[in-house]
């Protein structure tokens, strides 16, 4: 190509596959004038300044990629002198452990308490796939074949951050190209193609890590998020939005808050149209302030997201639910791995509330869509020719997860994202989490971000529950990688109880 840089065919193909999602989101925002916010007048699609161009070569010639490079920590302190010129190493040493199976065989991933000690099944992985868990340096894991769990294929010892990725590759023989070629020739054509894709991901990850100081926790190529991301350039940076989804100040009678049965276009509300049950709500519009409390990961606090009436409605609904012991993960892991994991990292109870449960719950989704700057239609099933250029009617939002913690219950440090197989074209993952607190005053029970980047303390960032407050944070980085620093924890409740709601939004699609 005459020495000119070029994008890979694979990247262009993936970008084409995602184009209609990106266009859909941009169009939806443009057609939704009630999303007045602090960005008005700015270029909403402007490139994030933390995205830097890197050059790499994974066998297809020189290519370029816009990679997220975390800004210098001193820039997080606006108008004040930073306590230090360097990031303080956090007390919490945990990290995301990604284990990649580059064989064509189904394998089991185990954690062991010590070499040869008690083991716990973490994951069952198909050929050419990855999986993992939150872990710590010195932790030990191993693979076995699925049909012979007593024979260990390879052991891994976890290192320090950013050494997140551990690879099992039975075909590549370092320094012996002939044997490597012979091993690959023994695979069928489809398996060879899958291997090549994963091999490129590993090679790209090595270059990405050198350039950014982070591990690449997805499959290459994965474009950046299709949704808007609020900037967190410095601590206490504030944004605001105006929403027509105002608070409920009075609870509508039971006969007016029945399950929503309308579908597709019938759910859409024009900007000039009254909101549902407007007689029970506060005025026509309201403002919400979105304040950055962490820059890396990007974490925001939104006070008074819910009104006391809305909080009580969710608690009343909870009273009629049969709460079950909470599980970990995002539903894309093998059931037997979940059932066999003897490490109790989550001890709460939860239930699920669909958006259609009541007009009050629906209003919470609509308000959340305004905060996220995503058209509300994306957060529900669509139909009746609604957005005909999009080839899916599925929502990108999960049902609300209602969670209850009793004394001594907790959810240890974890991530909200998972890992995608190489054959998944969109690599759908959780993009944003909105936590909604339903009570306060308990001892303990804070939400913590133990690895937040700062120049003042090695202690965790704690968010204390307040009735109606929301916390927004992103699991993805602007370049499409997962954010390892988004690891968070529900601290143990020492006295009292804790109620909250989780709302998870995916990018680019929601794949159950």
Q: Is the pLDDT of residue 120 over 70?
A: yes
**Vertex 68 angle, CA 67 and 72, to 5°:** 135
How much is the pLDDT for 388? 77
User: Could you give the 3-state DSSP secondary structure of residue 42?
Assistant: coil
- Which residue is associated with the tokens 């006295």? 495
Mean pLDDT of 109-136: 95
User: So what's the pLDDT on residue 8?
Assistant: 45
pLDDT range class, residue 446, cuts 50, 70, 90: very high
Task: Give the per-residue pLDDT at 35.
Answer: 52
Task: Give the pLDDT score at 59.
Answer: 93
In this predicted structure, the answer to whether residue 83 has a pLDDT above a threshold of 50 is yes
Residue 10 predicted with pLDDT over 50:
no
Q: Poorest-confidence range of 30-44, 257-271, 332-346, 481-495? A: 332-346
Torsions phi, psi for 195 (to 5 deg): -65, -45
Can you list the positions of beta strands (E) in 44-94?
Answer: 51-56, 63-68
pLDDT tens digit sequence for 352-361: 999 999 999 9
Residue 204 has pLDDT above 70, yes or no: yes
Given a cut of 90, is residue 40 above it in pLDDT?
no
Q: What is the pLDDT of residue 4?
A: 34
Q: CA angle 124-431-206, nearest 5°?
A: 65
Helix (H, G, I), strand (E, B) or coil at 467: coil
The CB density around residue 12, as the number of other CB atoms within 10 Å, is: 12
Q: Is 129 left (phi over 0), alpha (psi -120 to 50) or beta?
A: beta
* pLDDT recorded at residue 44: 56
Residue 348 gets which letter from DSSP?
Answer: -
User: Quick check: helix, strand or coil at residue 411?
Assistant: strand
**Residue 193 CB partners (closer than 8 Å, separation 6+):** none
Q: What is the pLDDT of residue 41?
A: 61
DSSP code for 34:
T
pLDDT of residue 500: 97
Average pLDDT, the chain: 89
Local confidence band at 30 (pLDDT 50, 70, 90 cut-offs): very low
pTM comes to 0.92
Q: Tokens representing 184?
A: 């690959």
User: What percent of the chain stands above pLDDT 90?
Assistant: 77
pLDDT at position 424: 84
pLDDT at 337: 45
pLDDT tens digit string along 304-363?
A: 999 999 999 999 988 877 777 776 555 444 444 444 444 556 678 889 999 999 999 999
What average pLDDT does range 22-36 have in this prediction?
Answer: 49
What is the reported pLDDT for 5? 38
58 contacts 200 by C-beta, under 8 angstroms: yes
User: pLDDT tens across 223-255, in order?
Assistant: 999 899 999 999 999 999 999 999 999 999 999
Distance, in Å, from the CA atom of 325 to the CA atom of 409, rounded to the nearest integer, reads 11
Looking at the chain, the whole-number percentage of residues with pLDDT higher than 70 is 88
pLDDT band for position 425 (50/70/90)? Answer: confident
Contacts of 280 (CB under 8 A, 6+ apart): 248, 249, 250, 251, 252
């Amino acid at each position: 190509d005459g020495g000119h840089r070029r994008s890979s065919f694979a990247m262009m193909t993936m970008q084409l596959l995602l184009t209609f999602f990106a266009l859909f989101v941009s169009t939806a925002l443009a057609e939704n004038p009630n999303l007045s916010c602090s960005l008005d007048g700015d270029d909403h699609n402007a490139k994030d300044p933390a995205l830097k161009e890197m050059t790499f070569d994974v066998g297809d010639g020189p290519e370029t990629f816009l990679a997220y490079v975390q800004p210098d920590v001193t820039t997080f302190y606006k108008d004040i002198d930073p306590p230090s010129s360097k990031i303080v190493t956090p007390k919490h040493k945990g990290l995301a452990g990604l284990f990649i199976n580059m064989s064509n065989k189904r394998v089991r991933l185990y954690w062991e308490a010590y070499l040869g000690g008690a083991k716990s099944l973490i994951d069952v992985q198909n050929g050419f796939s990855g999986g993992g868990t939150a872990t710590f340096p010195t932790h030990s894991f191993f693979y076995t074949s699925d049909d012979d769990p007593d024979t260990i294929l390879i052991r891994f010892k976890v290192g320090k951050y950013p050494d997140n990725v551990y690879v099992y590759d039975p075909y590549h023989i370092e320094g012996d190209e002939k044997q490597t070629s012979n091993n690959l020739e023994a695979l069928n054509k489809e398996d060879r193609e899958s291997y090549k894709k994963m091999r490129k991901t590993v090679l790209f990850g090595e270059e990405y890590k050198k350039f950014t100081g982070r591990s690449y926790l997805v499959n290459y190529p994965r474009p950046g998020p299709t949704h808007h991301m609020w900037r967190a350039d410095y601590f206490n940076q504030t944004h605001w939005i105006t929403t027509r989804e105002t608070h409920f100040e009075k609870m509508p009678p039971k006969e007016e808050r029945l399950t929503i049965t309308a579908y597709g276009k019938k759910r859409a509300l024009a900007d000039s149209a009254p909101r549902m049950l407007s007689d029970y709500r506060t005025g026509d519009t309201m403002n919400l302030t979105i304040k950055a409390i962490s820059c890396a990961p990007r974490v925001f606090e939104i006070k008074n997201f819910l009104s006391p009436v809305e909080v009580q409605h969710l608690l009343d609904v909870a009273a009629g639910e049969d709460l079950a012991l909470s599980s970990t993960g995002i539903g894309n892991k093998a059931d037997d791995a979940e059932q066999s994991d003897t490490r109790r990292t989550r001890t709460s109870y939860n239930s699920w509330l669909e958006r259609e449960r009541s007009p009050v719950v629906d209003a919470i989704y609509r308000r959340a869509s305004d905060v996220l700057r995503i058209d509300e239609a994306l957060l529900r099933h669509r139909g009746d020719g609604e957005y005909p250029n999009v080839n899916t009617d599925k929502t990108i939002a999960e049902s609300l997860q209602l969670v209850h913690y009793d004394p001594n219950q907790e959810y240890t440090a974890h991530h909200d994202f998972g890992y995608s197989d190489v054959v998944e074209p969109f690599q759908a993952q959780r993009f944003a989490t909105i936590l909604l607190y339903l009570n306060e005053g308990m001892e303990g029970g804070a939400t913590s971000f133990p690895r937040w980047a700062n120049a003042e303390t090695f202690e965790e960032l704690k968010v204390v529950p307040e009735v109606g407050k929301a916390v927004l944070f992103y699991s993805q980085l602007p370049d499409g990688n997962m954010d390892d620093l988004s690891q968070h924890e529900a601290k143990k409740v020492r006295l009292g109880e804790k109620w909250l709601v989780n709302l998870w939004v995916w990018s680019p699609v929601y794949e159950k």
